[in-house]
C-alpha cells in the first residue's frame, strides 16, 4: 500500500504483554478481528539527506531527487535562506511596534520549501498562519503577508492569483475547506475532461491534528478519493503542549485508520520533503485519493512573538534540534558536492538583505488600520445596527483627552 512504512519494532507486543497489577489479562493475540501491529515507529522516516548533509539512498523517493538539476537544488537553499531572513525582519518589525503579532517559522523552512516546491501552478495550497515558506514558493510578495499582522487587512492578497489561500487563524478550519476545494476539482474534471488535473495541499500542525475538523476532513477525502495531500508539520509543540499529549504514536499511523497512504518524512530534509510531496501530489492528481504526510520538524523559536518558550521547555531540547538545522545540512551537501560556491552563498545573503529592506519599507508605507473599514465589511450593504455601533464607537473614541491613538513603535 504505497509508502506506508512497516515498523520493525514489535510495539504492540510489549504494550499489551505487561499488564499492570496482579491479575494479568491474556494478550489479544493474532486472531481474526484483532488489530495487528502496523505502525511507523518513532525512528522511522524518509530521509534523503541526513543531519550531516550526506545523501541517503532510497528506491521509491530517491529518483525524484536524482532527476533534479543543480540549479533546482540551489533554489531550495535560496528559498530557505530567503524565508529565514524575511522571518528575522518581520520579528524585528513586531518588536518595533509595526506589527501586532508575528508567527516565526524558523526551523521549519525545509518542510515548507520542500512541499511548496513540489506543487505545480494549477495546484492549490491551504496554509495555516505560519506557511511563509510555502507563500514564497507560490510566488507571493512576502511583504503582503504582513498586512494581516499589521491589522490593515483581513487577508493581504488575492488567493486566486497564485492559488495560495488566505492564512487561516482558526486551528484546522482550513482542512474541510481544502477537502471541499479538492472535491470541486474532481467535479470540474468530470464536467470538462480537458481541465488541467490539479491537487490540493492542506497544511496543519500537530496541535490541529487533535481537532475534529481534521478527522471529518480525512473521512470525506477518503470517501470521495479527493485529490488532497494532508501535510502535517509536526513541530512538536502546540504552543506549550508537547507532542506526546497529542498522540502516543507518530501521527502518520492515523492514515491507516482512514485507509489512505501515510508517509513520515524528516521535515528538516528539504530533499526528502520535496520527493514525498511530489509522490503524494501525483498520487492525488492521478485519481488515487488523499495522502497524509507527517513531516517531523521543530519550532525552534516561539509560537508567536507573544509567547515565551523558556517557560515550558528546556534549552537542551532546543539545542538537539538546532543540530538538525535544515539550512546547514543542505549547505554542507552543496559545498561537498561542488554544487555551489562561495559567491552563491554571498549572493543569497545579499538578496535576503535586499528583500528585508523591501519588506520593511513596504510595511512602513502601509500606514495604520482604519476602523471604519472593519464596520464597512460586516455586511455587503449598509446595516442600521452596524451604523449605530460605529456611531457609538466614534463617540467613545472622541471621549479621551489624549485624542491620539496609543500607538507604540517609531514616532
Partner 1 sequence: MPNLNYFKLPDVGEGLLEAEIVSWKVKPGDTVAINDVIVEIETAKSIVELPSPFAGVVAQLMVAEGDTVEVGTPIFAVGSDASTPVAEEALSPAPAAEAEAEVMKPLVGSGPKADAVKRRPRISSAPAVVQVAAASPAPVVTPAATPAPTSSLESAKANRVLAKPPVRKAAKDLGINLADVTPTGLRGEITKKDLLGYQEQRVADQGQVGTFWAPSTASGLADDARVERIKVKGVRKATAKAMVESAFSAPHVSIFVDVDASRTMEFVKRLKVSRDFEGIKVSPLLILAKAVIWAAARNPSVNATWAGDEIIVKHFMNLGIAAATPRGLMVPNIKDAQDLSLKELAIALNALATTARAGKTQPADMQGGSLTVTNIGVLGIDTGTPIINPGEVAIVAFGTIKLKPWVVEGEVVPRWITTLGGSFDHRVVDGDLSARFMADVAAIMEEPALLLD
Q: Annotated catalytic sites, by residue?
A: 299, 303, 312
Q: Which is nearer to partner 1, 308 or 370 (CB)?
A: 308
The beta strands (E) that lie in 103-227 are given as 124-126, 200-205
Integer Cα distance of 269 and 326 in angstroms: 6
Q: Which is nearer to partner 1, 316 or 385 (CB)?
A: 316
Q: Which is nearer to partner 1, 137 or 236 (CB)?
A: 236
SS3 (DSSP) at 265: strand
Q: Is 282 exposed, middle or buried (0-12, 13-18, 19+ CB in 10 A)?
A: middle
Cα–Cα separations (whole angstroms), residue 108 to 129, 234, 267, 323: 13, 10, 7, 13
Q: How far is the CB of 149 from partner 1 (least distance, A)?
A: 11
Q: How far is the CB of 152 from partner 1 (least distance, A)?
A: 16
- Measure CA 264 to chain center: 15
Q: How far is the CB of 7 from partner 1 (least distance, A)?
A: 23
| Footprint on residues 36-55 left by partner 1 (CB under 8 A) | none
Q: Is 9 left (phi over 0), alpha (psi -120 to 50) or beta?
A: beta
Give yes or no for residue 411 binding partner 1 (CB under 8 A): yes
- Which of 308, 370, 388, 389 touches partner 1 (CB under 8 A)? 308
Find the part of the chain contacting partner 1 (CB under 8 A) among 20-28, 144-152, 238-246, 344-352.
238-246
Q: How far is the CB of 400 from partner 1 (least distance, A)?
A: 5
Q: How far is the CB of 307 from partner 1 (least distance, A)?
A: 7
Give yes or no for residue 311 binding partner 1 (CB under 8 A): yes
Find the part of the chain contacting partner 1 (CB under 8 A) among 24-32, 49-57, 118-126, 312-320.
312-320
Compute the radius of gyration of the chain from its Cα atoms: 23
Contact indicator for 330, 111 with CB cutoff of 8 Å: no
Q: How far is the CB of 147 from partner 1 (least distance, A)?
A: 18
Q: How far is the CB of 118 from partner 1 (least distance, A)?
A: 33
- Which of 43, 97, 155, 259 touches partner 1 (CB under 8 A)? 97
What is the β-pairing status of strands 237-238 and 241-242? antiparallel
SS3 (DSSP) at 79: helix
206-236 b/e (C-beta count within 10 Å ≥ 16 → b): bbbbbbebbbebbebbbeebbbbbbbbbbbb
Give yes or no for residue 319 binding partner 1 (CB under 8 A): no
Give yes or no for residue 115 binding partner 1 (CB under 8 A): no
- Which of 52, 95, 349, 372 touches partner 1 (CB under 8 A)? 95
Give yes or no for residue 152 binding partner 1 (CB under 8 A): no
Find the part of the chain contacting partner 1 (CB under 8 A) among 115-123, 169-177, 308-316, 369-377.
308-316
Site string for partner 1, 335-374 (x = CB under 8 A): -------------------------x--------------
- Measure CA 197 to chain center: 23
- Which of 38, 240, 347, 350 touches partner 1 (CB under 8 A)? 240
* Angle of the 270-285 helix axis to the 326-336 helix axis, nearest 10: 100
Q: Is 215 left (phi over 0), alpha (psi -120 to 50) or beta?
A: alpha
Q: Which residues bind partner 1 (CB under 8 A)?
A: 88-89, 92, 94-98, 100-101, 240, 242, 244, 302, 305-308, 310-317, 360, 399-402, 406-411
Amino acid at each position: 500500500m504505497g509508502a506506508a512504512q512497516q515498523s520493525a519494532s514489535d510495539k504492540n507486543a510489549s504494550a499489551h504483554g505487561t499488564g499492570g497489577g496482579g491479575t494479568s489479562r491474556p494478550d489479544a493475540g493474532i486472531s481474526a478481528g484483532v488489530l495487528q501491529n502496523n505502525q511507523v515507529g518513532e525512528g522511522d522516516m524518509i530521509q534523503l539527506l541526513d543531519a550531516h548533509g550526506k545523501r541517503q539512498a532510497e528506491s521509491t523517493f530517491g529518483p525524484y531527487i536524482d532527476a533534479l538539476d543543480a540549479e533546482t537544488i540551489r533554489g531550495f537553499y535560496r528559498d530557505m535562506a530567503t524565508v529565514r531572513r524575511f522571518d528575522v525582519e518581520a520579528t524585528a518589525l513586531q518588536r518595533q511596534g509595526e506589527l501586532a503579532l508575528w508567527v516565526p517559522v524558523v526551523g521549519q523552512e525545509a518542510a515548507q520549501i520542500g512541499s511548496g516546491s513540489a506543487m505545480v501552478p494549477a495546484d492549490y495550497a491551504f496554509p495555516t498562519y505560519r506557511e511563509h515558506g510555502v507563500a514564497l514558493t507560490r510566488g507571493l510578495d512576502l511583504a503582503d503577508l504582513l498586512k494581516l499582522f499589521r491589522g490593515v487587512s483581513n487577508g493581504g492578497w488575492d488567493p486566486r492569483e497564485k492559488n495560495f489561500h488566505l492564512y487561516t487563524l482558526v486551528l484546522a478550519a482550513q482542512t474541510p475547506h481544502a477537502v471541499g476545494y479538492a472535491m470541486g476539482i474532481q467535479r470540474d474534471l468530470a464536467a470538462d475532461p480537458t481541465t488541467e488535473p490539479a491537487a490540493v495541499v492542506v497544511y496543519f500542525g500537530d496541535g490541529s491534528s487533535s481537532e475534529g475538523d481534521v478527522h471529518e476532513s480525512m473521512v470525506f477525502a477518503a470517501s470521495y478519493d479527493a485529490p488532497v495531500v494532508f501535510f502535517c508539520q509536526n513541530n512538536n509543540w502546540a504552543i506549550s503542549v508537547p507532542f506526546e499529549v497529542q498522540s502516543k504514536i507518530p501521527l502518520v499511523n492515523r492514515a491507516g485508520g482512514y485507509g489512505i497512504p501515510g508517509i513520515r518524512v524528516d521535515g528538516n530534509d528539504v530533499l526528502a520533503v520535496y520527493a514525498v510531496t511530489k509522490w503524494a501530489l501525483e498520487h492525488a492528481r492521478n485519481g488515487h485519493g488523499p495522502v497524509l504526510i507527517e513531516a517531523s520538524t521543530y519550532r525552534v523559536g516561539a509560537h508567536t512573538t507573544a509567547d515565551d518558550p523558556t517557560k515550558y521547555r528546556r534549552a537542551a531540547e532546543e539545542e538537539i534540534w538546532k543540530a538538525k538545522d535544515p539550512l546547514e545540512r543542505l549547505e554542507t551537501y552543496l559545498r561537498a558536492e561542488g554544487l555551489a560556491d562561495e559567491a552563491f552563498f554571498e549572493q543569497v545573503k545579499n538578496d535576503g538583505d535586499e528583500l528585508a529592506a523591501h519588506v520593511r519599507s513596504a510595511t512602513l508605507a502601509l500606514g495604520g488600520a482604519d476602523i471604519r473599514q472593519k464596520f464597512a465589511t460586516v455586511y455587503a450593504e449598509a446595516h442600521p445596527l452596524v451604523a449605530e455601533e460605529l456611531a457609538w464607537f466614534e463617540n467613545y473614541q472622541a471621549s479621551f483627552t489624549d485624542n491620539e491613538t496609543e500607538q507604540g513603535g517609531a514616532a
